[in-house]
Amino acid sequence: MIEFILASGNAHKAEEFSELFDKKIISVEKAPEKIEVDETGKSFSENALLKAEGYFKKFKQPVLSDDSGLVVASLPNELGIHSARFGGEGLTDKDRAELLLKKLDGIENRSAYFICVLCLYFSEDEYYFFEGRVHGQIGENYSGSHGFGYDPIFVPDGVDERSTLAELPNWKKENSHRSKASLHASSFLRERDCQRV
């Protein structure tokens, strides 16, 4: 088993990733302390790498980092890597979601996808990226109490065309962008270990 620290001080996030991975292959613990990393990258991969490098330099052990966001077809330059800062400083998650609903009022194309890019960072010479996406639409209303961020306004494809991610906690656990990226990473580590035996 490989032990990683998560490039975040968020214990809940570390717990979420720990549940997504096969514990026989990988364990994920929150970092001993949160450090500030300037996310100046122009892509999810660049930001995930910046976070991983920052935590590795500080704690000198393998790091799991992620950068995630929401990409909205009709607002191509407004969210993406800027999703957590959409609308400016001082807004709550609900404020941002409601602002997005307002901006899409009357717009027909509401297609969107969540993306997660994971970085497994072993050293400055060895690191790997894994991506997961979940496609859907931005709904018409804020609905649901599970999840966080934009979950209450995101209606994933292939479910029932009405329920948001915030109303589908069990489906999200199996099918979210983080779940898919984690699955790719687990498969890679499994094969990597087999090749080393």
pLDDT reported for residue 196: 58
- Residues marked active site are found at 67
- Return the half-sphere exposure (C-beta side, CA atoms, 13 A cut-off) of residue 12: 2
∠ CA 130-42-70 to the nearest 5 degrees? 65
Q: Which burial class, exposed, middle or buried, applies to 115 when counting CB atoms under 10 A from its CB (0-12, 13-18, 19+)?
A: buried
Parent domain of 124: 2-196
pLDDT reported for residue 193: 65
Listed as ranges, residues in the chain with pLDDT below 70 are: 193-197
Backbone angles phi, psi at 173, to 5 degrees: -60, -35
Neighbours of 197 (CB within 10 A): 4
pLDDT reported for residue 9: 73
pLDDT reported for residue 195: 57
pLDDT in tens, 152-164: 999 999 998 889 9
- Tell me the C-alpha distance between 172 and 125, whole Å: 34
pLDDT reported for residue 135: 98
> How many folded domains does the chain comprise?
1
Q: Which burial class, exposed, middle or buried, applies to 6 when counting CB atoms under 10 A from its CB (0-12, 13-18, 19+)?
A: buried
- Tell me the C-alpha distance between 153 and 165, whole Å: 8
pLDDT reported for residue 49: 97
pLDDT reported for residue 26: 86
**52: its two tokens:** 């991983």
Distance of CA 161 to the CA centre of its chain: 23
- Tell me the C-alpha distance between 177 and 160, whole Å: 18
CATH of the domain at 59: 3.90.950.10
Query: What Rg, from alpha-carbon coordinates, does the chain have?
Result: 17
- Tell me the C-alpha distance between 182 and 195, whole Å: 20
User: pTM of the full predicted structure?
Assistant: 0.91
